Amino acid sequence: MRYTKSLVLIIALAICAVCILPREVRADQIVRLKDVARIEGARSNQLVGYGLVVGLDGSGDSQQTLFTTQSVSNLLQRFGVSLLGAKPKVKNVAAVMITADLPPFVRPGTKIDVQVSSLGDAKSLQGGTLLQSPLQAANGQVYAVAQGSVSIGGFTAGSEGNTVTKNHTTVGRIPGGAIVEQGVPTTLNSGGFVSVLLNNPDFATAVRVADAVNAEVGAGSATALDAATVQVKADGLQNVTSLIAGIGDLTVAQSNIAKIIVNERTGTVVIGGTVQLSPVAVSHGSLSVAVSTEFEVSQPSPLSRGGTTAVVPRTTVEAQEEGGRLVHVKPGNTLEELVRSLNALKVTPRDIVAILQALKQAGALHAELEII
């Protein structure tokens, strides 16, 4: 057996204090307000429903999926077909859950996309058609009705255990497959104010948004209530839509939070451009241990008495360690310097995760380290 263990040694050098760029030269991004914020009240709503997909080529639910057979029986009874207690064959039918997002400001008759997901043990929804199914919101009311041909963007082919599958064939979409029956009332002007909600709450960005709105609409029109909410006066304005359209095109400097996102399952590391480093030295090496066992046959001497043939295991242990490489990370262009140093160590993404965690513990990494 072979075991591989990465050894990461972090030595923090107390040479200088935390290197923070002046506020004037920080890498703040100039963005439109509509791209980083939304208006309170203008939100989508989730819809869900249950339905049947028919017309499958033997890839539907099995007879053991009781809710599918019961649903088919109930459906046929609605059309005046009585099965007299018999269980219908449902290999061409699949029970599915239907989900959709109801956008704000939609009106009855608008078509929206829906997603269809197998609920039973169907093998594929390829070629199926969803029968008319109501979609409900959390309050139990029906807001849309879905029906149409399911598109799975893949296929399943083969028989008798030899099959080829492309993409996920038990989940599909129906573009424009649901018709909105009723809209959700939307209130943008609450108590004479319009609230602008930042997607990424930040106090500096909220203050800048309020300043930009005051410069455009008038002094005292906007107030930053907290890191996520900017309140804009709408009193005396005949058209709130015009106000929202006007402030939506304003440009502001978005203050970016130094953050590193790490996905340990996939080894993905995303490093933000405002990450700061203190001077530090990093040494990386790897230790490889190989353990092998060979079985040899031990024969007794030709003249011995009572001797027996025995199997004797012989175990060999080999250890190999790569030479450590010490890299000095200097302050400066933070992201560029960090990436250059990690590349110099020639480490894998999973080793980078360990190095970043050790840098954070040593106090040399000045950023939020978020592991997902």
Instruction: Give the residue extent of every domain in the chain.
Output: 2-24+260-371, 30-42+187-253, 45-180
The C-alpha angle with vertex 216 and arms to 214 and 220, in degrees rounded to 5, equals 20
Report the run of H or E that residue 282 belongs to, with start and end.
strand 280-298
pLDDT at residue 8 in the model: 33
Tokens 């039973």 label which residue? 120
Cα separation of 278 and 338, whole Å? 11
Architecture of the 30-42+187-253 domain: 2-Layer Sandwich (3.30)
pLDDT at residue 325 in the model: 53
Are 280 and 9 within 8 A, CB to CB?
Answer: no
**Ramachandran category for residue 261: left, alpha or beta (phi over 0 → left; psi -120 to 50 → alpha):** beta
pLDDT at residue 335 in the model: 57
Q: For the chain, first and last CA: distance in Å?
A: 31
pLDDT at residue 318 in the model: 63
pLDDT at residue 83 in the model: 79
pLDDT at residue 315 in the model: 64
Quick one: angle between helices 334-345 and 349-362, nearest 10?
Answer: 120
Tally DSSP H helices, then E strands, for the chain: 6, 23
Consecutive 10-residue runs of the chain (372 residues): their mean pLDDT? 36 30 52 91 93 92 90 89 81 95 93 95 92 95 96 70 70 94 86 89 92 90 93 76 89 84 77 74 58 69 70 65 52 59 69 78 81 80
54-74 per-position pLDDT tens digit: 999 888 999 888 999 999 999
pLDDT at residue 165 in the model: 66
Cα dihedral 189, 191, 193, 195 sign: negative
Tokens read off for 118 = 């197998």
pLDDT at residue 132 in the model: 95
Instruction: Count CA atoms closer than 13 A to 187's CA, side-chain side.
Output: 5
**Burial class of 342 by CB neighbour count within 10 A (0 to 12, 13 to 18, 19+):** buried
pLDDT at residue 9 in the model: 31
pLDDT at residue 1 in the model: 40
